[in-house]
Structure 1
C-alpha cells in the first residue's frame, strides 16, 4: 500500500481536524492557512507550529511494515509541535520517545501495535538515566488512538506508556488494549498528570503472578525493581495526578486488569500526594480496583466498581503514615473477595490499614453504596480520626462496619442490612469512638459489638431490628471482653419475632466495668429479657456518675 500523497484532499481534511483537536486540547488558537500556501501542501498552523504527519517520515500504517523508525523520526521532528497519526495500523518494535511540548494526535481508527519492546511510548530515551525529580520531558499530550500492547502475540511483558520524571502531561480519549503483565499507563515520579476518558481493555498474566498490576499505576522512581527504562533512581513519588472518566474491563481476548488505578510502591520521604480517582467505571477487576498505597491528600469519589474481586484498599507503606483521604460516593457491588496474605482474616469492600503496622490519619468514608459482597463492608484498622458516615451496606458476607485500633472514630448515619456477622464492631484500641444514628437490620450476630480492650465508646441513638439471625446470638447490643466505660444511650432495639434471634436487647459480660446504659427503648427487644448485665459497676441512672 502506497502512502497517501501530500496533495490528497482526504489527508488535508485529516490534518485540519487533527490540528483543531490538538489545539483545543492544548488550549491554543488555530490560525487559518496562509492564502499563498503551495497547492500540494496543507501547512495548518497552531501557534506557529506545523502539524507533523507521520506519513511524511515514511510511516505506512499498513499493519505489516515496521513503522518504528518512521514514527520516531516524526516525533523527533515534532518536538514542541503536533504529531499526527492518521487511520491505519502501525507496528512498533521498541519504545518510542516523545519529547517536551509535543502533542500526539491519533484517530479512533488509528492502531499503534507493539511487536516487541518494554512499552509503546515513553517520555525518555531507553537507558538514559539523567532525568531527575519532575524535570524530565514534560508538557506532553497524548490524544486518541488504540494502543495495542498485543499480549499473546508478544510473550514479553510490556506496557502501553511508561512515563517518568516529568510534569504537565495529559492522556485523553485513548484506548489501551491487551497489556501483558504490566500497565496501561505507568507513571513514576510524575507531577500534574491527567488521564481523562480513556479505556483500558484486557490484561494477560500467563504466569499468574501479576495480580497487583494497575491499568494506571502511580509509583516512585526506585530503580530497576520499579521502573528501570530511563530516569534516575531518586525515589521521587507522584504528585497532583487525576484519573477521571475512565473504564477498565475485559477485551475480546483477555479479562480485565487486576486494578483500575493505584500503587504498589511507596517511597520513603517522597510520599505520593494530591492523587485523585474520580468518576471511573471498573468491571471485573480481579484484585483491588483502586489501591491507595502510601498516599496522602487523596480523593476517591463517584467510582463504580462492579463484578470483580476487591473494591478500595488504603494502606501506608510502613515507612511513613498515610492520610488526609476522602472516599466518597462510590458504588461497589457483586465482589467475590480477595485475600492477599495466607492466614489473614478476610478483607472488606473498603479496607483500610490491613497491609502492615503503619498508621493512617484523617480519613472520611462517606456516602458509599456496598452491595452483595462476600467479605466485610468497611474495615478501618490502625487509623486516627476516622469518619465512617452515611454509607449504605446491603448483604455483605461479614461485619458491616469494623473499626480496630482506631481511636476517636465516628461511625454515624450508616444503613446496614443483612450483614453476615455483626452490623458494627469497635474493638482493640478504638478508644473514645462514637457510634450514633445508624440503622442495622437482620444482622447475623450482634447488631453492635463493643469488645476486646476498648474504653470510653459511646453508642447512641441507633436502631437495631432483628439482630441474631444466627442461632445462639446473645444480644442486639453487646459489650464484652474488657470493654470499659461504654455508654449505651437512647438506642432502639426490636426483635424479629420468629426464627433465630438475639436473646437480649443488651448483654454485658463479666469482664466489663463501668458500663452506663439508660434511656434505651428495649420493648420487645429479646425473647429472654431486655438486659443481661454481668458487668462490674454498671450504671443505669439517667444522670450517670456525679
Structure 2
C-alpha cells in the first residue's frame, strides 16, 4: 500500500466564489477522473483514520485551509463541496507522485525493463503513469537536481546542485530540471536559467533564500543580447520561493527576466520579499505569469512603490542590474492571469505596495498589449495595478479588498526629467508628456480601502492625454476616495459603475473631452455624485461630454456638478435626496443641454444654473423653474451681446410649435440706461424677429409677429412687471395676438421648415458706464406646444 499526501498547501483552501474562506465545512474527496468517493483517509502520520475531513475552524491559524492528510494508492484526487450553485471541485496531485515516477524511471523504461544510469534523454514527449495525476514532461532531457547532490533538508546549500542541473540543460540545448519535494536552502545565488529550459518544482518543493541577492535570473552577468534575443523560451513552474525578507533583509528580486521572448512563470508562491519585485519582466516579449501567489513585503526604506509583478524597460543598471544592453526595449505581449497579491501574516511584513505595474519610462517607449485577467489583490498600500506608460491594455475580472488605491493609468510624467530622457542620454528630449491609448477595464470589484487614491484613476496630462478608454461593470463600496477619477482623458466611456459610500466625488472628471458616463449608480458620497470640471484646461471650449441614465442619491453635495466647458449634455438621470442641487451648472459653461432629468428632495435647488451660462437648453426636466433660473448675463455693454442661443428643430415650424423663454433686467444704481433685447432667427447675424426697448420703469412688453413659412406667429404679451429690482418678464412665441405697449419692430421672416435654425436672444444697454450696475439675463427655452 502506497500512501500519497494531500492538503496542507497554499491552494488547499476552501473558498467561495468571492474568495472568502469557508471555515469548518465538510469536504468530500473523490478519485480524480472517476468521481469515486475516497473513504479511507488518514492523518499525516499515515495511520490515524479521519472520519470526516473538514476545513480548519475560524479559530485556527489558517481558517478554511485543509490540513495535510494521506490516501492509499490514489495518485490524484478531486476535492468537492456543495456550494450555493451546486458542487464545486478542484484537482490536486499526490505530493509523492512525481518523485515516485522518477524513482520508477530510474529502474525501468518499459515493460521489457531497462536501467537509467544518468540523465533521461527522450525524443518526443514522456508521460509518467497514464492515470490521473501522472506527470507529462515536454522536453527531451530531464534533470533531477537530487542526482546533482541536492538534499532538500533546509540546512545544506543546495544552490550549486540546482545550478549544475540548469547548466546541464543549457549544455544540452534545453531540457526539464526537476526539483522534488523538500526544503532547499540557497546560499549561492543567483540561480541562472538559460534558453529552452523548464524548471519544475514538484509539489512540496520549498526554496529559501540565504543570500542578499536575486534568486533566479535568465542568463549571465555581462551578456549582451539586445531587444528580445536573450535567453528565452523558459518556463518556471511551481514551488514556494521564500525570500525571508525579515532575516535576509537587503532589497532583492525573486525572479528577474530580461531581453527575452517566451517567458512563463506558473504556479509559484513568493513569500516575504524585501524591497524589489517578485517577478520582473524587463524587455520581455510574450511573457506570462499564471496562477501564482505573492504574499508579504518588507520595505527596507524608500521602497514604498514596489510591485509584486513589474513590467519594465531596459533603460539603465538602476532599472535592471542583471545585464544589458540598455537599449530602452519595452515589454510587449504580457499576460498575467489568475494571480493573487496580498499579505503573508509574517510578523514584520505588510502587503505589497503595488500588485502589478511599472514606474520607469523613456520617451516613445511604451509597454503594449498587456492583459491582466482574473487576479485578486488584498491590502495593497498604494495601487493594485499601476499602468504606467502602457498602451493596448485589457484588465478584466479583478477583485480588490482593502487596497489603498485601485487601478491607475498614467502617461509619462513630465515632472521628472529622467523619465523624459532616453537610455544613455543626459538631458530630456521632450518637454512634456506623451499620449497613451487603448484601455478596456471591466468587471472589477473594490471593497474597502481607497485611502491613497481612487478605485480607477486616469491620470493624464495636458501634453499626455489618455485616449480610447472604456470602463464598464465596476463596483466600489466603502472606499475613502472616488470610484472613478479621470484627469485629461479623451474619447472615453464609463458605464455601469456602482459606487456605494464613496468618500469623495464618486465619478470625477477634470480636463476631459469627448466622453460618455452612462448607466451609473451612486448611493452615498462625501462629495458630488458625478463631477465634470473643465476650468483652465484644453477642454474648456470643447468638452463634448454626455452624462446619461445615471442615478445619484445620498450625496453630500450636488448630484451632478458641471464647471465651465462646452457642449455638455445631462439626460435621463434620477437625482434625489441630496445635500445640494440635483444639477449644478456654473462658471461660464457654454451650451449645456439638460433634458428628461428627474430631481427631488434637493436641499438647495433641483436644478441650479449660474447666470454666467450661455446657450443653455432645458427640456422636460422635473426640476425646471423658468422664472427662477437664469442662463446668461450681459452687463454694462453698449455692444449687442448674445444672452442665449437655441437650435430650433426642423419640424417645429410646420407644426407651429410655441417656445417660451424668460428675460430679466436689473436696473442701474447710477442712472437710467435703456435695455434692448432682440430675438434673431438664424444666428447672431440673423434676421431680427422682434425687438423692443424697455426702460427701467417699463410696465410690460408685447409683440406683433414672427413669420414662419409665410404664417404670422405674433409674440404674445408676457406677465406685466418692471425691469427694476430684478423683476422677471416672460414672453411667449405663440399663435395669439397682443397689444403694442412699447417700441417693437415688426420684422416678419420666412424660415425653412426642412432644416434647423438657430434662435438667439441678445441684449444691449445704452448709456452704459463702468459705474452702472445694469445687467440682463435670459432663462431657458421651453417648447410649450
| Residue in 1 that maps onto 2:232 | 138
What is the TM-score when the length of structure 2 is the normalising length?
Answer: 0.61
Report matched runs for 1:199-278 at 5 Å: 199-207=293-301, 209-253=302-346, 254-278=349-373
2:451 aligned to which of 329, 333, 337: 337
Secondary structure of the 1:71 match is helix
CA distance in structure 2 between the aligned counterparts of 1:34 and 1:285, rounded to whole angstroms: 54
1:66 aligns with 2:157: yes
2:284 aligned to which of 190, 210, 218: 190
Q: Rate the CA distance shift 1:42–1:515 in 2: closer, same or farther, 3 A.
A: same
| Residue in 1 that maps onto 2:270 | 176
| Residue in 2 that maps onto 1:51 | 142
How far the C-alpha of 1:184 sits from its partner, in A, is 0.5
How far the C-alpha of 1:420 sits from its partner, in A, is 1.2
Is the 8 Å Cα contact of residues 272 and 344 (structure 2) preserved in structure 1?
yes
2:485 aligned to which of 365, 379, 383: 379
Report matched runs for 1:302-381 at 5 Å: 302-318=397-413, 319-338=433-452, 347-353=453-459, 357-381=463-487
**CA deviation profile, 1:360-396 (whole Å, cap 9, x unmatched):** 1110111111111111111111111011111111110
Gap runs ≥5 in structure 2? 1-93, 125-138, 414-432, 634-642, 647-658, 661-755, 760-785
1:37 aligns with 2:121: no
CA distance in structure 2 between the aligned counterparts of 1:255 and 1:311, rounded to whole angstroms: 17
1:97 aligned to which of 188, 192, 197: 192
CA distance in structure 2 between the aligned counterparts of 1:251 and 1:326, rounded to whole angstroms: 31
62-71 vs 533-542, which moves further: 533-542
Secondary structure of the 1:221 match is coil
| Residue in 2 that maps onto 1:535 | 632
Report matched runs for 1:140-155 at 5 Å: 140-155=234-249
| Residue in 2 that maps onto 1:289 | 384
Q: Rate the CA distance shift 1:224–1:466 in 2: closer, same or farther, 3 A.
A: same
Secondary structure of the 2:154 match is coil
Is the 8 Å Cα contact of residues 180 and 203 (structure 2) preserved in structure 1?
no
| Residue in 2 that maps onto 1:494 | 600
CA distance in structure 2 between the aligned counterparts of 1:128 and 1:530, rounded to whole angstroms: 79
Report matched runs for 1:18-29 at 5 Å: none
| Residue in 2 that maps onto 1:7 | none
381-390 vs 424-433, which moves further: 424-433
Secondary structure of the 1:368 match is strand
Is the 8 Å Cα contact of residues 566 and 591 (structure 2) preserved in structure 1?
yes
Secondary structure of the 2:256 match is strand
Secondary structure of the 1:394 match is strand
Gap runs ≥5 in structure 1? 1-9, 21-30, 339-346, 496-500
CA distance in structure 2 between the aligned counterparts of 1:32 and 1:476, rounded to whole angstroms: 78
| Residue in 2 that maps onto 1:432 | 544
1:14 aligned to which of 98, 115, 126: 98
| Residue in 1 that maps onto 2:700 | none
| Residue in 1 that maps onto 2:203 | 108
How far the C-alpha of 1:464 sits from its partner, in A, is 0.6
RMSD of equivalent CA atoms: 2.6
How far the C-alpha of 1:131 sits from its partner, in A, is 1.5
CA distance in structure 1 between the aligned counterparts of 2:545 and 2:611, rounded to whole angstroms: 22
Is the 8 Å Cα contact of residues 450 and 480 (structure 2) preserved in structure 1?
yes
How far the C-alpha of 1:522 sits from its partner, in A, is 2.5
**CA deviation profile, 1:337-370 (whole Å, cap 9, x unmatched):** 11xxxxxxxx422111157852111101111111
The aligned length equals: 502
39-48 vs 59-68, which moves further: 39-48
**CA deviation profile, 1:470-524 (whole Å, cap 9, x unmatched):** xxx3x211110111111111111111xxxxx42211111122211111211228x
Secondary structure of the 2:578 match is coil
CA distance in structure 2 between the aligned counterparts of 1:33 and 1:193, rounded to whole angstroms: 37
| Residue in 1 that maps onto 2:572 | 461
Is the 8 Å Cα contact of residues 504 and 530 (structure 1) preserved in structure 2?
no
CA distance in structure 1 between the aligned counterparts of 2:595 and 2:498, rounded to whole angstroms: 23
**CA deviation profile, 1:87-113 (whole Å, cap 9, x unmatched):** 111122311110111001112311111
CA distance in structure 2 between the aligned counterparts of 1:11 and 1:490, rounded to whole angstroms: 65
Q: Rate the CA distance shift 1:187–1:132 in 2: closer, same or farther, 3 A.
A: same
CA distance in structure 1 between the aligned counterparts of 2:495 and 2:213, rounded to whole angstroms: 44
How far the C-alpha of 1:129 sits from its partner, in A, is 3.9
